[in-house]
Amino acid sequence: QVQLVESGGGLVQAGGSLRLSCVASGPPESTYAWGWFRRAPGKEREFVAAITWSGTGTNYADSVKGRFTISRDNSKNTVYLQMNSLKLEDTAVYSCASTRTYTRGLYDSTRYDHWGQGTQVTVSS
């Protein structure tokens, strides 16, 4: 079973930056794409960003465009989320996910096969 483990969360002041990492381990399998999602207290899980295995395709939620950057290092089975200019409303548990099947419609959480446990990001004023 593939396992995804996130790290890099924490407490940061508004306007600050954090870099999240997600490492995949376990039996090798073809990963078509990675995604980051978040869930704020009392809210539904929402799409943040996604990237295809080749790195040629990325997409972002409107709320994070221009502030967040997703990238991946296939040699390390790792995907990153660089978060800049953080806002109070970015406070959430951030989870990474991987899919063996899809390279489109990656905003849809049902397209992912594996999920990490999540890492807390708290933005303070």
For tokens 């990490």, name the residue: 116
Q: What mean pLDDT do residues 42-53 have?
A: 96
Among 12, 92, 99, 114, residue whose Cα is nearest residue 45: 92
Q: Which pLDDT score is estimated for 29?
A: 74
Query: Rounded mean pLDDT of 40-48?
Result: 96
- Vertex 121: Cα angle to 71 and 70 (nearest 5): 10
Pairwise CA distance, residues 125 & 119, whole Å? 20
- pLDDT, the chain, mean: 94
In the prediction, which pLDDT does 26 show?
Answer: 82
Strand arrangement of the beta sheet that strand 18-25 belongs to? 3-7, 18-25, 78-83, 68-73
Residue 55 pLDDT grade (very low, low, confident, very high; cuts 50, 70, 90): confident
